[in-house]
Amino acid sequence: MRAALTRRQPDLTVLTDYVHKSHNLSAILRSCEAVGVLEAHIVSPERSLYLHHTSSAGAKKWLSVDRHRSVEDAVGHLRARGFAILAAHPAPGARDYRDVDYTLPTALTMGAELHGLSDEALALADAHITIPMMGMVGSLNVSVASAILLFEAMRQRAAAGMYDTCRIPAPEFEERLFAWAYPKLARRMRDEGRPYPTLDEDGQIVRE
């Protein structure tokens, strides 16, 4: 757990814009977890959108998911934290996804299967990126497209050494580690407003 948390990338994320099919959303979160995304962001009309355990491979246990009422709220939140907003959209003038620098703080905005990104999401983006197609189809499944973009980001970040040292502040690291190791106890302590106890090197609670 310590090793996985040490590799987490606090400045790489995915924002889904009304991706309402739970198996697609779950698969996206699975890819996020695989490349070390710390938290993902969701704009959804369904507050309690169900996540498939099988499709996500349990990723929701290790990945924070922030829900937003609108894409405007989500983009405003991310931009205030210094993220560049990249919209995955196969339109004329969109940049090849391989020509983007993902070592910078990056939020990948992905749209739903049928309609793609909303007009609001496209207008709010800093740039549009696309995955070149050589066949007759015009686009990929949203979860497949997300995985391609995320693994390119991981490739660039690994080459730049961004997985080699912990990039999460120490207090936050210890809090997240405790929540990973003791999820039920952490939930109860949060509800009671109590601070988490310290863990030793073996992950055991230090009783003071």
Considering the domain architecture, whether residues 93 and 74 belong to the same structural domain is answered as yes
Instruction: Please tell me the predicted confidence (pLDDT) of residue 3.
Output: 96
144 found inside a domain: yes
Considering the domain architecture, whether residues 100 and 181 belong to the same structural domain is answered as no
Considering the domain architecture, whether residues 45 and 95 belong to the same structural domain is answered as yes
177 found inside a domain: yes
User: pTM of whole model > 0.75?
Assistant: yes
Q: How far apart are CA 67 and CA 125, in angstroms?
A: 19
Residue 70 is part of a domain; what is its CATH number? 3.40.1280.10
Considering the domain architecture, whether residues 109 and 180 belong to the same structural domain is answered as no
Split the chain (208 residues) into runs of 10 and give each run's mean pLDDT. 97 94 91 97 70 56 92 97 96 94 98 85 96 89 96 98 97 95 95 94 86
* Number of independent structural domains in the chain: 2
Considering the domain architecture, whether residues 101 and 195 belong to the same structural domain is answered as no
* Distances 33 to 2, 65, 96, 156 between C-alpha atoms, Å: 15, 11, 24, 17
β-pairing verdict for 95-96 and 127-130: parallel
Please give the residue range of the domain that contains residue 49: 7-159
Considering the domain architecture, whether residues 182 and 136 belong to the same structural domain is answered as no
Helix axis angle, 183-192 to 170-181, nearest 10°? 120
